[in-house]
Chains A and B, each alone.
Chain A
Amino acid sequence: MSLENTPFLEVIKSSFSAAIWKEVGPAVWDTVYMTVVSSLIMLVIGLAFGIVLIWTDKGGIRATPVINGPFGWFINILRSLPQMIMIIIMIPVARSIFGQSYGTNPCIVAIAASCIPMYARMVESSLMEVEKGKIDAARSLGSTDFDIVFRVWIPEAIPSLVRGFTVTVIGIISMTALAGMFGAGGIGDIAVRYGYQRFQHDKLLACIYVLIVIVQLTQSAGNLLSDHIRKKRGLM
């Protein structure tokens, strides 16, 4: 059903019909799957990258410009690629890993590659916000570098890390929609194939509902978790 020849209300009504959701339903699963797996990969590698950045930073554990400089450049280079270009670049990489360049799993490679550097910078800035006095206190108590990072620095930054993670997960959701154009499947795929190429605007609307709901749920979950931690710590 297209907006070109059908009244708006009719299209809306049709966007809630069972026939539409039979097609959109499975795509929701694909999108959720891509988002969850990419987010987990991003969380692990992004945290690790962020820790390397802060460890070697001037105000960090041990100033190591030899590592911090080139590593920072590397992250900036990845960050300067628009997501669409990253997807195209990652096609051969995905093919070498999965033997094919389309489908949900190969696209996860591209999504992760694009979001890891972004999250790494968020981790860096969250960790930077932790008061230096706390690090001094940890040092004065005889902490090793490892103790400082894992027992003090990261736990202190958790509410902020959670908020940063929420923001990047939402970035991942929008990127899964983009990846749909390149054979990833999911909501983006439906929206492009039916909504754009075949003018089936009822399906497009259904995709929009799904995206809105997923993003809202993600943001609320992130806020809830971060607030819960801050409340528990008596900070709000």
Chain B
Amino acid sequence: MADYIEIHDLNKTFQTRTGPLPVLNGIDLSIKKGEIFGIIGFSGAGKSTLARCVNGLEIPDAGSIEVNGRDVTKLSKQEMLEERRHIGMVFQNFNLFEAKTVYENIAYSLRIRHEKKSIVDEKVKEVAELVGLTEKLDAYPGGLSGGQKQRVGIARALIGEPDVLISDEATSALDPQTTLQILDLLRSINKEKGITILMITHELDAIKYSCDRMAVLEGGKIIEQGKVVDIFHNPHSRTGELFTKVFFQFQNDEFQSGAGI
């Protein structure tokens, strides 16, 4: 399988009141088409920023991100709008539009492209069935459970038929059972539609459960990347330390939500 997302020497520094804060320091990463690639790190490691660079929500200071051979950091504004059709994103806090029904949330990206009503209707129903929301189309997101909300978020990202789905801590606000359901959903989407998934998370279990390959991010650097099995069996010494830390942390307080940058 060919490399699908190719990130080379990516740098990003935020200007804060206390001075420059380097968040990404020379990230090199390659993700293959059709795989589920996990990026794990503590909050502040820069994983959300990395994800946001891929669909242009953040503009990196230096480096390149090639998605399917096109460098997204060099696109014009108009080209970026177009490119975002191919890159879906799912968020930790769902970020649903509360003013719109589930139907209109899912239909959003077709509406802004002024698609025909019949096409919108057909596609919304198709995607709603895929994520199991057919019964809830007329409801407003405010009345849904966390798992249902995330299903809407996934459906909303899927309706544009993206090639890549970025999951930015998509399961971090959910209980363990719902987390499993959402991870299963993501896996089945990956299998059925061949959508490449970039899974950003601080949860080891989520990575272990769903990813093919992974990278460990710390302090804006990739300290290790490779097959999930290999890394879990034989972690780099620093990764091992992080894993242990995470393990004990989970024992101490079962749920710690990492907001991430």
Which residues of A approach B to under 8 Å, CB–CB? 131, 133-134, 136-144, 147, 151-152, 155-156, 158, 232-235
Contacts and interface: CB of A to CB of B under 8 A. Distances in A.
Contact of B95 (A137, A142, A143, A235): A137
A137 B89 contact: yes
- Of A138, A142, A233, the most chain B CB neighbours within 10 A belong to A142
B98 interface: yes
A158 B97 CA distance: 12
Contacts of A142: 81-82, 84-85, 109, 112-113, 160
21 contacts: A134-B97, A136-B52, A136-B95, A137-B95, A140-B157, A141-B84, A141-B157, A141-B160, A142-B112, A142-B113, A143-B112, A147-B112, A151-B111, A152-B99, A155-B99, A156-B98, A156-B99, A158-B99, A233-B98, A233-B140, A235-B98
Interface of B: 52, 55, 57, 81-82, 84-85, 87-89, 91, 93, 95-100, 108-109, 111-113, 139-144, 153, 156-157, 160
B57 A235 contact: no
A61 to B, nearest CB: 12
Contacts of A134: 95-97
A155 B96 CA distance: 12
Contacts of A141: 84, 108-109, 112, 156-157, 160
A136 B109 CA distance: 13
Contacts of B153: 137
B100 A139 contact: no
Nearest to B99: A155
Given A142-B160, A151-B112, A156-B99, A131 B142 contact: no
A140 B87 CA distance: 8
Contacts of B142: 233-235
Contacts of B55: 140
Given A142-B109, A156-B99, A235-B98, 11 more contacts: A133-B95, A137-B95, A141-B160, A142-B81, A142-B84, A143-B81, A143-B112, A232-B140, A233-B140, A234-B142, A234-B143
Nearest to A235: B142
Contacts of A143: 81, 112
B112 A140 contact: no
A144 B81 contact: yes
Contacts of B52: 136
Contacts of B81: 142-144
Given A133-B91, A151-B111, A235-B142, A140 B98 contact: no
Contacts of B82: 142
B256 to A, nearest CB: 20
Q: 7 shortest A-B CB distances, which residue pairs?
A: A234-B142, A234-B143, A155-B99, A137-B95, A133-B95, A140-B89, A142-B84
